[in-house]
Amino acid sequence: MFIQTEPTPNPATLKFLPGRPVLDDGVLDMPTREAAAQSPLAEKLFDIPNVGGVMFGSDFISVTKSDGEWPQMKPAILGAIMEHYMSGAPLIAADSAAPAGDGDEFFEEKDAETVATIKDLIETRVRPAVAGDGGDITFRGYKEGIVFLQMKGACSGCPSSTATLQHGIQNLIKHFVPEVVEIRPV
């Protein structure tokens, strides 16, 4: 098994590509050891010193460090990923509840059509781009022209995330949905 690594715009996050599917649908963000209890692989990764977050995507695993240096951490992370895949163990524990959602979305019913357009733009244009960088962005709400998005994986805590939100995503959404005045992270 050959696992590739890719840097992300967030220097604290590295993307690992095991060369096979990781998660069938969506993403699973585990920013804490407690959240990692639902996955044997995530638990093993959190056992490595200085691992501060793990996110699974369709074909990648993003690992965020809380401290330390990648040259010292990478071998242990690669070993844990390889050992997991070679063991045939499930990615998600069988006795684990379904991954918890990020909370309820909020918007007024009169804005449902606007929200549907915003969500479509996020799904088709934004999420594929940020997944390429080892992260994810999801819609959380819309109120009075302000779109609230949640940043995950490499996007969470990334130094360039503000620029991505303000210049990239905000400009894209405002172009297609003129009533949007601002994008904010939650």
pLDDT score for 168: 83
Domain boundaries, the chain: 4-87, 109-185
Give the integer Cα–Cα distance in Å for 149 and 132: 18
Confidence at 102, pLDDT banded by 50, 70, 90: low
The CATH code belonging to domain 109-185 is: 3.30.300.130
pLDDT tens digits, one per residue of 119-170:
999 888 888 888 777 778 888 899 999 999 888 877 776 767 777 777 788 8
CATH superfamily of 4-87: Scaffold protein Nfu/NifU, N-terminal domain (3.30.1370.70)
**Global confidence as pTM:** 0.71
